[in-house]
Amino acid sequence: MAHSWLKKDPTAVVIVQEIPAGTKVEASDLGLQAIPTSLLPSTSYDSIDDVVGLVAASTLSSGEIATKPRFVGTELINSIATNVTDSSLVEEINMVPLSLAEPSVIPLLQHGDTISVVSQDPDTGLPENIAAGGTVILAGGTDPSTILIALPQSIAEKVAAQSLNTPLAVVLTGDRADNYTTEE
């Protein structure tokens, strides 16, 4: 019994006020709290300095333990990178900000959604698949007309270049799309 009174739980960085998606984290947004080892995620932070300056990938709630996959960066990308156009999984994953031709669809997208990026062939008017298997990292952050997606480097560069001259749209293709079926 005396041993448990003397034992100190490790401290972890926690969110002390809501942080909207796409917002850079400030020191005033964070605090340290003792967390029982059995409840401490392996990806948590133990230093406020390690979290200050990171960008929230989705809204962070007050009281939440700060963990690496909750912020835009390598940990997040590696945790959600999925099947993509071609066999580009051997490439480094990059993030691409993308302004959509129809930004009103952005509120329908969620962090982690799998999407295809499409355009319209200027000669035929038919749909043209630019990239498949992109992952939404951030939808409607500080710029509500832009999304941030993760793709292998060569495909990310293709999407970025295509967006300079062509209106682009996205098609939801992952698990959330698979959950919707039509009954006959």
* 170 vs 71, more confident: 170
- Average pLDDT value over all residues in the chain: 83
Closest Cα to residue 33, out of 7, 52, 12? 12
Please report the pLDDT score of residue 144 as a whole number. Answer: 75
Q: Which domains does the chain have, with CATH numbers?
A: 2-71 (3.90.1210.10), 82-178 (2.40.30)
- Between β-strands 146-152 and 93-99, what pairing exists: parallel, antiparallel or unpaired? antiparallel
Q: Which residues of 122-142 are buried (b: 16+ CB within 10 A; e: fewer)?
A: eeeeeeeebbbbbbbbbbbbe
Q: Give the rounded percent of residues in the chain with a pLDDT score beyond 90.
A: 40
Mind listing the pLDDT tens digit for each residue in 71-126?
876 555 555 554 454 444 567 778 888 989 998 888 888 888 889 999 998 899 89
Mind listing the pLDDT tens digit for each residue in 136-154?
888 876 677 889 898 888 8
Q: Which residues lie across from 24 on neighbouring strands?
A: 55
Rounded mean pLDDT, 36-54: 93
Closest Cα to residue 117, out of 160, 176, 72? 160
DSSP state of 50: H
Classify residue 22 by burial, with Cβ atoms within 10 Å: 0-12, 13-18, 19+. Answer: buried
